[in-house]
Structure 1
Amino acid sequence: MPSKKALGYTAAIAALALGLAGCTGGGESGGEGGGEGDALQFGYVFPETGDLSFLGPPQIAGAEYAIDEINAAGGVLGQEVPAILPGDEANDAAQANDAADRLLGQDVDAILGAAASGMTMAIIDRVTGAEVVQCSGSNTAPDLSTYDDGGYYFRTAPSDLLQGPVLAETIVGDGHQSVAVAYRADDYGEGLSASVVESLEALGAEVVAQESYDPAGTNFDSVVQAVSNSEPDAVALISFEEGVQVIAGLLEADINADQMYSADGLNDPELGNSVDSGDPSVIAGFKGTAPAVDNPEFDEGLQEFAPDLTAFQYAPQVYDCAMAVALAAEAAESTDPTVFVEQMPAITSGETECSAFAECRDILAEGGTIDFQGASGPLDFDENGDVSSASIGIYEFGDDGAHSFADYVVATP
């Protein structure tokens, strides 16, 4: 069976036809993005509102920072990259679809996002079906690895098949052997919880409860009760913002914060204030994992670019998405997504390592091949558009409820 990332014969013919016709606009056979001579146009579908809105600012800043650096180096193929076009996913499928449709109607060449795996599932057929490149810096659902996207979807965040074992090892490494798992019933929750459970059991821990819940619910008492009744010595909570209510319920049920673990969906520096604004220290000892990288040089540069930014989650991964797209266009000598998409894996697996846009572009201009080293680490896109390794951070909340990263682990399949 051919790789899902292999472009079909008809797509190749369509791209050739576009080149021969000198077409510069979107058409059925050539996608809805720009043509050979157009400036590279990005759009994004990120959470500006909704229960994941805390993820929006760092992802938007990461994208804008990349474009700023690209333009400072002369742009893509000698043309300045226009301002990125916005779209709000709002953690709502209908709104995410509306955002994607508006961007496609504006002839974008690449869409960054969505942030949530479920929102990408809502828009991926529309985006990749239009032969526009989609790259997410935060999608982690395992199902996206084998999704039939025609070769147009990539992600710089690792699959939960990489994050799950790190979370399980963190829990067991702290001495816990009896674990309850509570998770939201969606693509993200089901994929990550399955990985965590499998890894916990492989490490010899007993999973005493597996409780799913409706993420759109307003009352989580039944989940809290089921977890409490299983008498675990640790709880793995796979959730987004609604997890704040579950944490509060578990605390009331006499399960301590240092028995609780989570993942990237609750990697929010303001989590303590969300649980108890009067006493953020109630979550002292709470731990979790999230795709993260120890890259102070990038953090400092981003902070200088966006001084008001207070969180950095997924900013380097989104930055890498934008850089990879721009370098693929340089390698292909085209801003047409049906042409440069074939260069997306190639620019992460060439002979010469490089990290800055100007450096990588100059190597390409001299006829060389590049192995782009991103702000989030080596990308090495595989045949499914996944990264082959990733840095996973282990975060924790201190005695005063302050958030920090205690360690970083390189995870590989």
Structure 2
Amino acid sequence: MASKKALGLTAATAALVLGLTACGSGGGEGDGGDGGGEEFTYGILYPQTGNLAFLGPPQISAAKYAIAEINEAGGILGTEVPAIVEGDEAGDNAQANEAANSLVSDQVNAVIGAAASGMTQATYDTVTGAEIVQCSGSNTSAALSDIEDDGYYFRTAPSDKLSAVVMARKIAEEGHANVAIVARADDYGGGYAQALQTELENLGAQVVVNETYDPMATTFDSVVNSVANEEPDAVALIAFEEGAQVIAQFLESDVTGDQIYVTDGLNDPQLGETVNQEDPNSVKGITGVAPSAENPEFTEGLTSFNEELEVFQFAPQVYDCVTVIALAAEAAGSVDPSEYVAELPNVSRPEGTECSSFAECSDLLADGEEINYQGASGNIDFDDNGDPTAATFEIFHYGDDGHEVLAYEEHSLLD
């Protein structure tokens, strides 16, 4: 892959690479065109615990669903994919990196995740430094476009630079001219807030507050008071689960639900209960923007696969990570990440024949055709940084009947 990113390793990671570089594939030598019957094993870093644990079920369910469909079509290079190896990112840098080290030691051929951008920042050196492909379906931090990963990191979720544009346009369309931005103090929150302010000002709005908060704090009086003092028309909250407490404090001030706009970290049908268990309808009026997919067929299939699944956030994007990696291995004729990594952009480029499932796409590859994988989340078309260049967003809302999707909108980085 002609990546613009160069590999930068710490001494500790370099030592790890010396011992583990050759293990990332279960052996790429002598694969030939048929993979030599070697298994392709996926690892996954996802939030089993921590403040994003509500995103755990759709992440692991989507990955397992994709693997089931791959195996139904004959597996990768004719060999069935074994059970996915799981690791808990837990919302903690040290624990996430410990889980990543475990996946590398288990000689997985690819790592799906981490779910949170911060957890990927904590783990990508470990994974990509061992020359193992890492693909996240939910990382959105703009900073991840420029990490030093030697071309081994990809994502199917759009950068916050694009998400922020969509949110700014929504806020402006609804007539808000004076806006407060409140964000968690990390790469995700800071990057999103900066991009949001830039686009709001481009649209003629004034940003009267732009403050961050410690997501581990027990109270958020400082930022809530700053917003209340400025009396803005709208408040944009860039948060994860801790944002429920921030919302509760906003609602106790003079801010109303129809003034609040939230990001994907709060796209939770149970948000009302989390904010105020005694009055779940207190969140009525809140609107949000999240990367999504308008794909009822995929949702029906995933629901049939896991009937207990209630949250679907980023599930299509995770499914696409698993599938596009499998197709890259098919195209390369190898399970070795150092060999198939160059095929990841190629199997999603517009020059190929469009196809939308592993079975269909792998048949085309077997016939010698180039392919353009059309994902469950939409067109991917990786750029040189491993980012998708287009995405679908859902505008979600909390109304009389709770959580609802108002609309789906397609946006491109080229717009």
TM-score range, shorter chain: over 0.9
The answer to whether structure 1 residue 32 and structure 2 residue 28 are counterparts is no
Cα distance between partner residues in 2 of 1:7 and 1:257: 46
Alpha-carbon offset, residue 294 of structure 1: 1.0
Say which is worse superposed, 44-53 or 277-286, in terms of deviation.
Answer: 277-286
Cα distance between partner residues in 2 of 1:346 and 1:5: 18
1:383-404 residue CA offsets vs partner (Å, 9 max, x unmatched): 000001000111000124x111
Cα distance between partner residues in 2 of 1:97 and 1:29: 17
| Pairs within 5 Å for 1:214-363 | 214-349=214-349, 350-363=351-364
Identity %, equivalent residues: 56
Letter in 1 for 2:365: L
**Contact 2:6/2:148, CA 8 A, preserved across alignment:** no
**Contact 1:5/1:385, CA 8 A, preserved across alignment:** no
- Give the aligned partner of residue 102 of structure 1: 102
Cα distance between partner residues in 2 of 1:194 and 1:375: 30
Cα distance between partner residues in 1 of 2:214 and 2:382: 34
Cα distance between partner residues in 1 of 2:167 and 2:363: 40
Cα distance between partner residues in 1 of 2:26 and 2:107: 6
- Give the aligned partner of residue 79 of structure 1: 79
- Give the aligned partner of residue 61 of structure 1: 61
- The alignment partner of 2:121 has SS state of helix
Alpha-carbon offset, residue 31 of structure 1: 4.9
Say which is worse superposed, 191-200 or 318-327, in terms of deviation.
Answer: 191-200
**Contact 1:131/1:337, CA 8 A, preserved across alignment:** yes
Letter in 2 for 1:174: E
Matched pairs, number:
394
- Give the aligned partner of residue 143 of structure 2: 143
The answer to whether structure 1 residue 388 and structure 2 residue 389 are counterparts is yes
- The alignment partner of 1:183 has SS state of strand
- The alignment partner of 1:406 has SS state of strand
Q: Which runs of 5+ in 2 are unaligned?
A: 9-17
1:212-260 residue CA offsets vs partner (Å, 9 max, x unmatched): 1111111111111111111101000001111111101111102101100
Q: Decide whether aligned partners of structure 1 residues 7 and 274 sit closer, same or farther in structure 2, where only a CA change above 3 A counts.
A: closer
Alpha-carbon offset, residue 4 of structure 1: 2.4
Alpha-carbon offset, residue 336 of structure 1: 0.6
RMSD: 1.4
**Contact 2:7/2:129, CA 8 A, preserved across alignment:** no
- The alignment partner of 2:140 has SS state of coil
- The alignment partner of 1:344 has SS state of helix
**Contact 2:6/2:149, CA 8 A, preserved across alignment:** no
Cα distance between partner residues in 1 of 2:263 and 2:145: 20
Q: Decide whether aligned partners of structure 1 residues 159 and 7 sit closer, same or farther in structure 2, where only a CA change above 3 A counts.
A: same
- Give the aligned partner of residue 19 of structure 1: none
- Give the aligned partner of residue 11 of structure 2: none
The answer to whether structure 1 residue 93 and structure 2 residue 111 are counterparts is no
Alpha-carbon offset, residue 6 of structure 1: 8.0
Q: Which runs of 5+ in 1 are unaligned?
A: 9-25
- TM-score when scaled to structure 2? 0.93
- TM-score when scaled to structure 1? 0.93
- Give the aligned partner of residue 411 of structure 1: 411
- The alignment partner of 2:107 has SS state of coil
- Give the aligned partner of residue 160 of structure 1: 160
Cα distance between partner residues in 2 of 1:320 and 1:227: 39
Cα distance between partner residues in 2 of 1:76 and 1:206: 53
